[in-house]
Structure 1
Amino acid sequence: MSVAEKTPKPGWRRRPEARPDDILDAALDAFVKKGFSGATVAEIARGAGLSQGALYRYFPSKEDMLRALIRRSVTPVAAHAASLMENAEDDPAGALRMAVSFMGEAMSDPRRFAVPRLIIAEAGNFPELAEFYREEVIEVGLGALQRLIRAGVTQGQFRDVDPQAAARSIIGGLMLHMVWITTFARADDPPLPGNIMAQHHLDIILNGMRAEGGKPK
């Protein structure tokens, strides 16, 4: 065999810094296809073009892969939405519109929303993953949302609503829409982009929270 035949082709070489994303892409494909419990490390390794031994150098377990998927796909959404709501006490309604529109658009990506769907499906079997998701995502976004609603109540822009209940109502509508388009939607359903649905949903919420004589911006 010649030296040229022994030398791997450049196209076969993987950049080490790209391998974690390769693994996570393969893991998400396997989790979506077979569920978190049904997917095996062996098939994830094959999908990433690695041996199981090489994969374990990056992620010791499937749980570590799912945590990394949360941090890659969903944590940044919660963090950015929270940043839109922080320090916006002078215009709570406007900040809500920006943050909810952003969340609705971001979570319309089926591969991004596949991650919270996995957590919902597996929460009973893997409560530690549900708790991780709550700390990484829910507490960040919901906490900022509650603080903003509380500021609106204090300023007299919103009625004296329960910030926790109101925040959950807002997030609940977005989550139901994502479940609808990924699980129950039919091919002939009229399109309803996530950011448009989010604005309609928030319009109803804001009018419901509006203080008497006030106008949500």
Structure 2
Amino acid sequence: MTTDDSPTPKFRRRAEHRPDELLDAALALFVEKGYAHTSVAQIARTAGVSKGAVYLYFPSKQAILEGLVKRAVRPVSTAALTLLRGHPGNTRAALSGFLHQLAERLADPKTTSVPRLVLREAAAAPEIAEMYRREILAPTLPVLADMIRQGIASGEVRPVDPELTIRSLMGPIIAHLLLAEVFGVQPAAGLSLPALIDNHLDILFHGLLVPPELPRDA
């Protein structure tokens, strides 16, 4: 008979962790087979449970994908928004911190696998793109645009189009993942987001061309 201070029964401990087990199984299958070619039955078999048990936690395969996004990527977005709001009046510090934090968190394979999966599967499954837009992009992009507007208002940032600027800022990261996931093209040094971020910020803050040599005093 179980007392209040006795260990939690195995089946109860397992039930508490089962959503994560199902998400881990789904992510492995989505990466290996693709979202469209993975069934709920396959996810259940990989996780070692019945198909009916999956539906106790996730009513559909799309709900499983949403669970992956909420587990892996939403915390990244939330932390980034907190960081951006914590640097009022310092666009450079906010932007640098945001991108470096993004790279650090995406270094976790479980985290970076989700946006890579979205990039790979969104064209064939529009519901994936819509879900990612709703959960991640919709709350994040306006804050980034407001940061640029505040920088313009304070005189720190040149008068640029905030929305187009955000696309220019985030574009290299998306292209980096897209080239690797869709076209199989990786830099010689490997798919290193921190290295990409450092290179991107260097060009962003200092430009691409070497400044012309200043004229020497006669």
TM-score, normalized by the shorter chain, greater than 0.5: yes
- Aligned equivalent of 2:151: 152
Whether the 8 Å CA contact 1:108–1:178 is kept in 2: the answer is no
Which runs of no fewer than 5 residues in structure 1 stay unpaired? 1-9, 209-217
**Contact 2:116–2:177 (8 Å) recurs in 1:** no
3-state secondary structure, aligned to 1:90: coil
Residues 50-74 of structure 1: CA deviation (Å, up to 9, x unaligned): 0111111111211000000010011
Q: Distance in 1 between matches of 2:70 and 2:202?
A: 30
User: 1:68 matched to which residue of 2?
Assistant: 67
1:184 alignment partner in structure 2: 185
> Secondary structure of 2:36's partner?
helix
**How does 1:6-155 map onto structure 2 within 5 Å?**
15-155=14-154
Larger CA deviation: 85-94 vs 155-164: 85-94
Which position in structure 1 is the counterpart of 2:163? Answer: 164
TM-score normalised by the chain length of structure 1: 0.82
* CA deviation after TM superposition for structure 1 residue 12, in Å: 8.2
Q: How does 1:188-207 map to 2 (within 5 A)?
A: 189-191=188-190, 193-207=192-206
Question: Separation in 1 of the partners of 2:162 and 2:108?
Answer: 28
SS of alignment partner, residue 82 of structure 2: helix
Tell which has more relative contact order, 1 or 2 (C-alpha 8 A, sep 6+): 1
Greater share of residues in helix: 1
Uncovered stretches (5+) of structure 2, i.e. residues with no partner? 1-8, 208-218
Q: Distance in 2 between matches of 1:177 and 1:106?
A: 16
| In 2, Cα distance between equivalents of 1:21 and 1:201 | 35
Figure out how many residues of one structure are paired with residues of the other and give that number.
Answer: 197
- Tell me how far 1:126 sits from its aligned partner: 3.0
Q: Distance in 1 between matches of 2:179 and 2:10?
A: 41
2 CA distance for matches of 1:65 and 1:192? 27
Check whether the contact 1:101–1:198 (CA below 8 A) recurs between aligned residues. Answer: yes
Which whole-Å CA distance do the structure 2 matches of 1:121 and 1:94 have between them?
Answer: 32
Q: In structure 1, how many angstroms separate the alpha carbons of the residues matched to 2:89 and 2:136?
A: 25
* CA drift at 1:132: 1.7
Aligned residue identity for 2:94:
A
Query: Which amino acid is the alignment partner of residue 185 of structure 1?
Result: Q
Cα offsets for 1:68-118 (capped at 9, x unmatched) = 001001111111111111142221111111111111222233332221222
Closer/same/farther in 2, CA of residues 51 and 171 from structure 1, 3 Å limit: same
- Partners of 2:179 and 2:157 in 1: CA distance: 30
Q: 1:166 to 1:206 in 2, by over 3 A?
A: farther
